[in-house]
Amino acid sequence: MIEILGVHKSFGSLEVLRGVSLEVAAGEVVVVLGPSGSGKSTLLRTINHLEKVDRGFITIDGRLIGYRKRGGKLHELKEREILKQRKDIGFVFQNFNLFPHLTALENVAEAADLASARQFLDRVGLGDRAGSYPRQLSGGQQQRVAIARALATQPKVVLFDEPTSALDPELVGEVLDVLRDLARSGTTMVVVTHEIGFAREVADRIVFMDQGVIVEQGTPAEVLDNPAHDRTRAFLSKVL
């Protein structure tokens, strides 16, 4: 489904990703854990080409993202083609990034027709708030609208970049409920989060990243209860 191969990425002299390879199968829920600055958000953003990679490549269903292979070289795609590819990849931001001048329904309808936009709002339990502007919604409701919007292009995979980090503690649950529903319905998901409890319950696989590399990965039981690596143990001892 998703194949990430040898991805490197630097911001100036700072190398954020140092050769990351990862495969995600269809219907799988992968949770990425790691200390801040470990490169997990950057990795997520390279999957839908919001960040260009310096080396390595990413494919979804066998199709290269952001590039075309020709004559032994990777040629960068035109903006228009990249935009088309992104419809296959839903993205949910930490700060929601809803369009503040559009109602909840209009936000979702930017990515789909009105009738299906309504269905997606219903699916996150906000059918009755269709006419509300983002400012009139709580943080949790805003993130649920953002999830409905990300689903509206009917993507093959949905990426979540710390979807609950900007929320008040009492609002985290409603967003995690939506994620849980999605996971159960067979949506392919990659979730960057600090919610260890959620990871344990929902993830098929947990990937632990530190300093731009994947340190270890495995089932929640393996990684959380019996980590093989010192760095994983050190991180878990701080967050558990």
Partner 1 sequence: MASPGTLTLVSTKDEDPASLPVVPARHPWRWVGVAFVLVLVAQFVHGLVTNPAWDWPTFARYFTAQSILTAVGTTVLLTVLGTALGFALGVVVAVLRMSRSPFLRAVGWTYIWAFRSIPLIVQLLFWFNISYLYQRLSLGVPFGPELVSFETIELISPMGAAVLGLALHQAAYAAEIVRSGVVSVDRGQLEAAAALGIPRLRQFRRIVLPQAMRSILPNAANEVISLFKGTSVVSVMAIGELFYQVQVIYGRNARVVALLMVATVWYIVLTTLLSIGQHYVERHFARGDRR
Residue numbers of the site for partner 1 (CB under 8 A)? 48, 50, 79-80, 83-87, 89-91, 93, 95, 97-103, 110-111, 133-136, 149-150, 152-153
Find the shortest distance in angstroms from Cβ 199 to partner 1.
23
Find the shortest distance in angstroms from Cβ 83 to partner 1.
4
Find the shortest distance in angstroms from Cβ 42 to partner 1.
13
Find the shortest distance in angstroms from Cβ 84 to partner 1.
6
Query: Which residue lies nearer to partner 1 by CB, 149 or 205?
Result: 149
Query: Which residue lies nearer to partner 1 by CB, 129 or 149?
Result: 149
Q: Distance between CA atoms of 3 and 63, rounded to whole angstroms?
A: 10
Q: Which residues of 17-40 are buried (b: 16+ CB within 10 A; e: fewer)?
A: beebebebeeebbbbbbbbeebbb
Query: Which residue lies nearer to partner 1 by CB, 116 or 153?
Result: 153
Query: Which residue lies nearer to partner 1 by CB, 23 or 110?
Result: 110
Find the shortest distance in angstroms from Cβ 87 to partner 1.
4
Query: Which residue lies nearer to partner 1 by CB, 95 or 165?
Result: 95
Query: Which residue lies nearer to partner 1 by CB, 113 or 230?
Result: 113
The radius of gyration of the chain's CA atoms, rounded to the nearest angstrom, is 18
Find the shortest distance in angstroms from Cβ 139 to partner 1.
15
